[in-house]
Amino acid sequence: MNVHLISGFIPASDQYKRQTMVQIGVIGTGSMGGMLVRTFIESRAAAPEEIIAYNRTTSRATALSRETGIRIGRDCQDVAREAGVVFLCVRPCEVKDVLRELGDALSSQILLISIAAEVPLADLHAWTDARVVRVIPTLTSEVLKGASLVAFGERATAADRDLVRTLLKAIGRAVEVEEEAFELLTLLTSCGPAFIAAMMKEFAAAAVRRGAVSPALADLLVTETLAGTAGLLEKEESSFDEVISRVATEGGITAKGVAVISEEGPRVFDAMIAAALGEEE
């Protein structure tokens, strides 16, 4: 699969202060919907009074409102009527029914941003008159880090593109790619935190099996090392190879360990990606 990067990375700013000055609607306040609300407010991409949300489970939306100060809509149509941009944060199997329920409330005057991983732009265009964008967010945006994948629908305007970039760069990095690359790239972004955490869990466990370190200490050391390595890669714009070369001296213990990873890693990661893409089913 050829991946075409449209506009590259849009760096986040720790001092980001601008508010969107547009009403933001969020339909579905589960894990990702709730995370987006919290991070938009924390990063000051939007003020609480600029966000209105709805969730079928009323208690979840109410709890989020109490926590953040956002408004709660009576139903999803209420959200669409109040907002200029609507984030659709429901499960892929629910998207068509929710759009049908929204009906005329979701007009061409609305920008719809769907985070449903398995619903393509073509379907969204067929099911609504709204201008549409697909975004695959990542849980790491909870700490204002990580990359969100973006693909714009054909009806999206230049102003829509600017708005989406503005919102997403406030909570991490926005990376525009061709839609057909989403499935593979999602493994590196949205799925990535789980994969990386699983790898680090096994790294720490290998030390514990040697009997000289407790699980708590091993987890702490690996976590701190992971955070520091990410900081080096980001701050100094180093490549993976550059970081390896700075630590792994020829013939040393690090170089020996890296050699094992280089030998065994491709098989493991090729199998992981194949399994995640369903190629082994």
Annotated binding site for NADP(+): 27-32
The residue to which tokens 């020829």 are assigned: 250
Q: What are phi and psi of 158, to 5 degrees?
A: -60, -35
The residue to which tokens 């005057």 are assigned: 109
Check if the beta carbon of residue 200 is closer than 8 Å to that of residue 222.
yes
| Whole-number Cα distances in Å, 45 to 18, 21, 89, 135, 233 | 6, 9, 18, 17, 26
Annotated binding site, which residues? 27-32
Q: What angle do CA 179, 54, 67 make, to 5 degrees?
A: 105
Strand partners, 131: 111
Which residues make Cβ contacts (< 8 Å) with residue 179, sequence separation at least 6? 120, 121, 134, 151
Check if the beta carbon of residue 112 is closer than 8 Å to that of residue 133.
yes
Strand partners, 221: none
Roughly what angle, to the nearest 10 degrees, separates helices 215-235 and 192-208? 130
Which residues make Cβ contacts (< 8 Å) with residue 237, sequence separation at least 6? none
Size (the chain), residues: 281
For the record, the structure tokens of 2 come out as: 């050829």
